[in-house]
């Protein structure tokens, strides 16, 4: 469906016709379609928009790789239980044939482009956690 002008005041049934044309049954789906197709954000592309660092991070993480073996090291910076809040690490390149070698007790989720480690349980400050796995790099497609 092509809409030349979205004038809901003169055509209040337009959102319903759009939803029917795309088989949408939920108003949220229509809103997401609207956001995808019409919303644009403008601004300075060099501007670093980040949350202010008002407190010390609960953990630090470091990913290293050597000859196809990856190690994600997590060091806790404070004592506590973060209720399963996950550590997420994006991979520098897509992976395949992943085999977990160590750290299975942390229940990591390793995909082709990220690793997620839910931090459940009580941790002490300075505790070191490791997930080690092997994988093959997938060459970038052109």
Q: Would you say residue 110 has pLDDT above 80? A: yes
Per-residue pLDDT at 91: 95
Higher pLDDT, 61 or 10: 61
Is the whole model's pTM more than 0.85, yes or no?
Answer: no
What does the alpha-carbon distance between residue 114 and residue 98 come to, in Å, rounded to a whole number? 11
Percent of the chain exceeding pLDDT 70 equals 94
pLDDT given at position 128: 96
Q: Please give the Cα distance from 129 to 108 (Å, whole number).
A: 11
Contact (Cβ atoms closer than 8 angstroms) between residue 109 and residue 116: yes
Compute, in degrees rounded to 10, the torsion defined by CA atoms 80, 77, 64, 130: -30
State the pLDDT at residue 98: 96
31-84 per-position pLDDT tens digit: 777 777 776 767 777 777 777 777 778 889 999 999 999 999 999 998 888 777
Domains of the chain: residue spans and CATH: 1-49 (no CATH), 59-137 (2.60.40)
pLDDT of 78: 86
């Amino acid at each position: 469906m092509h809409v030349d002008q979205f004038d809901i005041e003169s055509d209040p049934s337009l959102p319903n016709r759009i939803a029917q044309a795309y088989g949408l049954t939920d108003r949220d789906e229509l809103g997401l379609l609207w956001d995808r197709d019409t919303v644009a954000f403008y601004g300075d592309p060099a501007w670093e928009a980040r949350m202010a660092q008002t407190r010390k991070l609960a953990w630090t993480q470091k990913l290293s790789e050597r000859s196809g073996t990856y190690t994600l090291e997590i060091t806790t910076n404070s004592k506590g239980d973060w209720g399963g809040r996950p550590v997420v690490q994006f991979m520098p390149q897509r992976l395949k044939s992943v085999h977990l070698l160590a750290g299975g007790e942390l229940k990591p989720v390793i995909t082709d482009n990220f690793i997620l480690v839910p931090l459940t349980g009580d941790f002490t400050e300075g505790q070191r956690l490791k997930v080690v796995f092997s994988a093959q790099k997938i060459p970038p497609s052109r």
